[in-house]
Amino acid sequence: MGLFDKIKNPLHKETTAAQPNLGMVANPANQPQAISPGNLEPSAEQRLIDGLSKRVGNMENEMGKMSTTLESLKRGFQESGDKLAMISENVKMVVSLYEVVSKDFNPFLDNTPDEIKEITEELRKELMGLKALIESALDDLRELYGTPDLKQIFKVIEQEDLNDK
């Protein structure tokens, strides 16, 4: 039947000296009563035990279902944790790769060797000198041929605009 099959009736106390009455059922007044075909209805205690046994059986089934659900949730959490750890590792690898790449190609850091810096500075100075020579030659040509100085005209126009405001 269930869990309570071996439980003795708590209202019926047996003594060690008492002999079992075969074919007899104890009533609540502890007087033996003969089992007869008309007396097959279970007693109140037996119905209580049967009801409790059914409830315990249902609870055991529900606990089994809960245990199964709990195990599946544990597996799901474990899988999620594993995936999260894998994602974390991937992010670390991407960040380290970014650091390696950006270290060589970072536009905010000047990793130019000193020799190239010196050559670049010399070229810049020569270019500025050439620019000054070209501007001087243009000014000389304007004076020779009488072309107007556009820079001077633009300066005058800008100055007039500022005065108008």
Which range of residues forms the domain containing residue 88?
Answer: 43-111
Last residue of a domain, one of 76, 91, 111: 111
Distance of CA 6 to the CA centre of its chain: 51
The per-residue pLDDT for 22 is 44
**Of 12, 7, 47, 10, whose CA–CA distance to 31 is shortest?**
12
Geometric angle at alpha carbon 20, from 15 and 21, rounded to 5°: 125
Model confidence at 57: pLDDT above 90: yes
Residue 106: band (very low, low, confident or very high) from pLDDT cuts 50, 70, 90: low
The least confident of 8-12, 74-78, 149-153 is 8-12
Measured CA to CA, the distance from residue 149 to residue 151 in angstroms comes to: 6
Residue 8: band (very low, low, confident or very high) from pLDDT cuts 50, 70, 90: low
State how many domains the chain has. 2
The pLDDT tens digits for 15-42 are 444 444 444 444 445 444 544 455 578 8
In the chain, count H helices and then E strands: 3, 2
Does residue 59 sit within a domain? yes
> Is 95 in the same domain as 148?
no
Does residue 15 sit within a domain? no
> Is 158 in the same domain as 127?
yes
Does residue 10 sit within a domain? no
